[in-house]
Structure 1
Amino acid sequence: MRPHNAPRQVDVDSHQKRDQPNTDITAQDYLFGRKATVWVFALLCLLMVFDFADRMIIASLLPYIQRDWAINDAQAGFLSSILTIGMVLFAFPVSIVIDRWRRIKTASLMGIFWGIASAAGAITQSFSQLAATRLLVGAGEAAYAPASYAWISAAFPHRRLQLALGLFSASQPIGMAIGIALGGLIAQHFGWRYALGVMAIPGIVIALLLYKGRDYRTILPIPLPAQVFAGKALDSASSAMVQQLTHRQVIRQNWHSIRQTPSLLLTYLAAAMATLQWVPIVFFLPSYLHRVHQIELATASLLTSSILLIGIVTLPLGGWVMDRLTQKYPSSKLYIAAAGYALATLLYVLAFSLVSGLWLQFALIIVAGALLTFL
């Protein structure tokens, strides 16, 4: 996230610069003007919707896959988590590639890649083949979020940044809800293979539209060797070394900054623990409702998706509230986040340990999810 008064280290591509200056006062501090920024932002949000739809669809399909292939709960859990493993393995290397190349084109190509990988799951013939396709989906999605967040942080003015990030993050629960609800309905009527194939198509189409979106070029500090100051031209080997060292220096500097910021490290840890809470709940809630409360699978998927829809309100609302609150109390977000995570944990414990009634349990899960998405 860009500091409040920090200059933007970006440069709009020369072929994308406008011939005339932007005379719209309300849009002057948007990197590409308000209209162009909102257009690309809308495509990023839509692609994020189907990112999470393709990611979470497996939650509603697990009971059908278990029935067809006779896999146990441990294998079902692995099938749910293998996508995350792919994201973890590829997130850091692709983030480096993003900094050295194009954010929008990277997001577009990775959207096409994970869409094809997700659709390929429809023609798999074994558990291992399906797991491999889910791993590839995770690899593709690993590049999308870093590229999108970097672009949004640079393209929007500071006064709109938290709201933009909140709206973008709100695409996540929408996508989860769509993936689980439609996945369950399609699987019930046509089979789980059709669900994987059909849900992959919109993401591929949106990714193709995004490819021509406006982007910026990162300006990196390049240490100039002695030849430059002596008025001598650099050969190709020296130029390559300069570029390579520049990126290494930037990576080392960023890594050093992260290690020297305890609040950031604790935030990463808290986010990981929060994810450890809600991801298993979302993935296995349809199966849980079906087994424990004897609810039909399609209905269980719809109930699970309804829990996720609360994030449509809480995510942008949280961004809007934090925008205003941190203007007066800069440290307040840390205390609010800590209190919210603690309360959400308590509610989850109550829901699954001490409460047996369906609707009270359901209400506790909704409130806990609302807290996590608001923060």
Structure 2
Amino acid sequence: MKSRALPAEELPTRPDREVPRSRIYPWAVFALTFGLLLSDYMSRQVLNAVFPFLKAEWLLSDSQLASLTSVVALTVAVLTFPLSILADRWGRVRSLVLMATIWSLATVLCAIAGDYDQMLGARFLVGAGEAAYGSVGIAVVLSVFAPSVRATFGGAFMAGGSFGSTIGVALGGVIAVQFGWRWALAFMAAIGLVLIVLFRLVVTQRRLDRYQHEDEATAVDELAANAGQRAPFSSLFSNASVCCVYLGSGLQMFVAAVLLVWTPSYLNRYHAMSPDTAGLVSAILVLLIGAGMIVCGVITDRASKRRPERKWTTAISYSAASALLLAIGFQLQASSLQLVVLGLGAFFSAGASGPATAMVANLTHSSLRASGFGALTLSNSLLGLAAGPFVVGILADGLGLLAALQLMPLVYIGAVTALLVGKRTYPAGLRRLAALNTHQPPA
């Protein structure tokens, strides 16, 4: 019996040496969880492709159309924290299945909605289902891969939002033209329901536990260093530099969200494109946003390898480049050249997302890092995904959609200002963090 004592004690830090594991299963978990993330954003963004149909059939204003999108983002922002906590306690796999079921069935309700009020209520349920999927889904994915590749898989997983949006807008526009807008929504719901069945058959908590990877030396050292210690929750917002990250990231996401929601309608009205063609062109624009997030993140990592403060410089540069390109683009006449310039602006529009994530990690105590990312998500959702489309919708009612989009790049002034202040206060923020690590009394 004594010969078994040592391996049993070592099991939490080196599980891969004790339990033989298939190399295929983690990839299956990633594929199915990623597939549901695509379904998440397909169900969320497909409505943007059918705006022209809803506007014509129900005689909706632009602000009403925008509210159908913003209500999802607002619901996600409000419910992400509490539902993530519940998922950790109730079980991540069961929670993911329940979430996907709720948003898929809610998308069915959207497909059969008879008026604006019914659609708004159904879209609220879509947001309730999708609220914590990103945070819980990424936790499941990263748990089955070694620490050395978690950054790669984390980035790939989060990029799924843009890819799912692209598919939803492009495919939704085609289906709506051929079969009607209700069938476009129903098709997205069907994809989600099929993936739920596959996910439930393959992914179980017991199998995830078997494939669980632990941070070896890092986890042990951190546990020893922080035993009985936890930074105060207020430190998430008492550090001026990290608050500037929240604000700057949320404002740059404002522009990306506007492009995501209003591009199909803009192309339909000002480029005289049919809804299906507008959906396809918009899908390319959304794809550029996602590609820009990845490429700008890679550039930032290389540029700041020896000088971490350069993360601020790259984030500021991406925001400034997008502001200039979009300001020029929306002043040009409707043409192929205009679309190229707008595409370049879209590429940089969310480029600061990667640097913002890294800066939050650098400025947040290890005991609150997940909460720090939650605060960043909250800012992106409230200031960006919820506020952006709605504010532009209100402006479009009074000024016209083109005029509203021409004003949109001005938001980057706030984003750049926040990032400049954050860069200036960054050394002080690091000192505050060091003080927490050194002097934080036991809880």
The 2-side partners of 1:102 and 1:208 are apart by: 18
The 1-side partners of 2:25 and 2:277 are apart by: 41
User: How has the CA–CA distance of structure 1 residues 175 and 36 changed in structure 2, closer, same or farther, with 3 Å as cutoff?
Assistant: same
Equivalent residue, structure 1, for 2:217: none
Describe the SS at the equivalent of 2:131. helix
User: How has the CA–CA distance of structure 1 residues 359 and 73 changed in structure 2, closer, same or farther, with 3 Å as cutoff?
Assistant: same
User: How has the CA–CA distance of structure 1 residues 307 and 117 changed in structure 2, closer, same or farther, with 3 Å as cutoff?
Assistant: same
Does structure 1 residue 140 correspond to structure 2 residue 118?
A: no
Equivalent residue, structure 2, for 1:294: 272
Describe the SS at the equivalent of 1:329. coil
The 2-side partners of 1:34 and 1:190 are apart by: 42
Confirm or deny: 8 A CA contact 2:255 2:349 kept in the other structure. no
Does structure 1 residue 159 correspond to structure 2 residue 148?
A: yes
- % of aligned pairs identical? 29
Superposed, 1:223-238 pairs within 5 Å as none
By how many angstroms is 1:197 displaced? 0.6
The 2-side partners of 1:19 and 1:328 are apart by: 35
Amino acid at match of 2:346: G
By how many angstroms is 1:159 displaced? 3.4
The 1-side partners of 2:144 and 2:16 are apart by: 15
The 1-side partners of 2:147 and 2:304 are apart by: 13
Equivalent residue, structure 1, for 2:255: 277
By how many angstroms is 1:38 displaced? 2.3
Equivalent residue, structure 2, for 1:188: 177
Instruction: Give CA-to-partner distance per residue, 1:344-366, whole Å, 9 cap, x none.
Output: 122222222x2223323212221
Does structure 1 residue 63 correspond to structure 2 residue 40?
A: no
Structure 2 gaps of 5+ residues are 1-10, 215-227, 355-443
Confirm or deny: 8 A CA contact 2:50 2:176 kept in the other structure. yes
Does structure 1 residue 366 correspond to structure 2 residue 366?
A: no
Equivalent residue, structure 1, for 2:35: 46
Describe the SS at the equivalent of 2:114. coil
Equivalent residue, structure 2, for 1:339: 317
Instruction: Give CA-to-partner distance per residue, 1:270-328, whole Å, 9 cap, x none.
Output: 22112211212221111111111212221111110111222554444445445555543
Amino acid at match of 1:364: V
The 2-side partners of 1:264 and 1:104 are apart by: 32
More divergent stretch after superposition (186-195 vs 41-50): 41-50
User: How has the CA–CA distance of structure 1 residues 140 and 146 changed in structure 2, closer, same or farther, with 3 Å as cutoff?
Assistant: same
The 1-side partners of 2:345 and 2:300 are apart by: 19
More divergent stretch after superposition (81-90 vs 53-62): 81-90
More divergent stretch after superposition (87-96 vs 187-196): 87-96
The 2-side partners of 1:253 and 1:154 are apart by: 24
Confirm or deny: 8 A CA contact 2:46 2:185 kept in the other structure. yes
Amino acid at match of 2:309: S
The 2-side partners of 1:254 and 1:203 are apart by: 40
Describe the SS at the equivalent of 1:357. coil
Amino acid at match of 2:254: L
User: How has the CA–CA distance of structure 1 residues 335 and 154 changed in structure 2, closer, same or farther, with 3 Å as cutoff?
Assistant: farther
Describe the SS at the equivalent of 1:71. coil
The 2-side partners of 1:101 and 1:325 are apart by: 42
Match of 1:98 among 87, 96, 115: 87
By how many angstroms is 1:338 displaced? 2.2
More divergent stretch after superposition (33-42 vs 339-348): 33-42
Describe the SS at the equivalent of 1:124. coil
The 2-side partners of 1:290 and 1:311 are apart by: 20
Match of 2:327 among 343, 349, 370: 349
Instruction: Give CA-to-partner distance per residue, 1:244-290, whole Å, 9 cap, x none.
Output: xxxxx99x857334124444322222221122112122211111111
Amino acid at match of 2:234: H
Instruction: Give CA-to-partner distance per residue, 1:42-98, whole Å, 9 cap, x none.
Output: 212111111111111010111101111111222112112111121122112112212
The 1-side partners of 2:195 and 2:69 are apart by: 25
Confirm or deny: 8 A CA contact 1:99 1:218 kept in the other structure. no
Structure 1 gaps of 5+ residues are 1-10, 23-31, 220-248
Superposed, 1:163-182 pairs within 5 Å as 163-182=152-171
Equivalent residue, structure 2, for 1:258: 236
User: How has the CA–CA distance of structure 1 residues 100 and 338 changed in structure 2, closer, same or farther, with 3 Å as cutoff?
Assistant: farther
The 2-side partners of 1:154 and 1:346 are apart by: 41
Match of 1:304 among 282, 290, 296: 282
Confirm or deny: 8 A CA contact 2:290 2:347 kept in the other structure. no
User: How has the CA–CA distance of structure 1 residues 101 and 18 changed in structure 2, closer, same or farther, with 3 Å as cutoff?
Assistant: farther
Does structure 1 residue 204 correspond to structure 2 residue 193?
A: yes
CA RMSD of aligned residues (A): 2.9
The 1-side partners of 2:41 and 2:158 are apart by: 11
More divergent stretch after superposition (195-204 vs 303-312): 303-312
Confirm or deny: 8 A CA contact 1:166 1:319 kept in the other structure. no
Confirm or deny: 8 A CA contact 2:256 2:289 kept in the other structure. no
The 1-side partners of 2:140 and 2:189 are apart by: 24
The 2-side partners of 1:350 and 1:305 are apart by: 21
Equivalent residue, structure 2, for 1:243: none
Amino acid at match of 1:291: R
Match of 1:72 among 44, 61, 86: 61
User: How has the CA–CA distance of structure 1 residues 218 and 141 changed in structure 2, closer, same or farther, with 3 Å as cutoff?
Assistant: farther
TM-score (norm 1): 0.77
TM-score (norm 2): 0.66
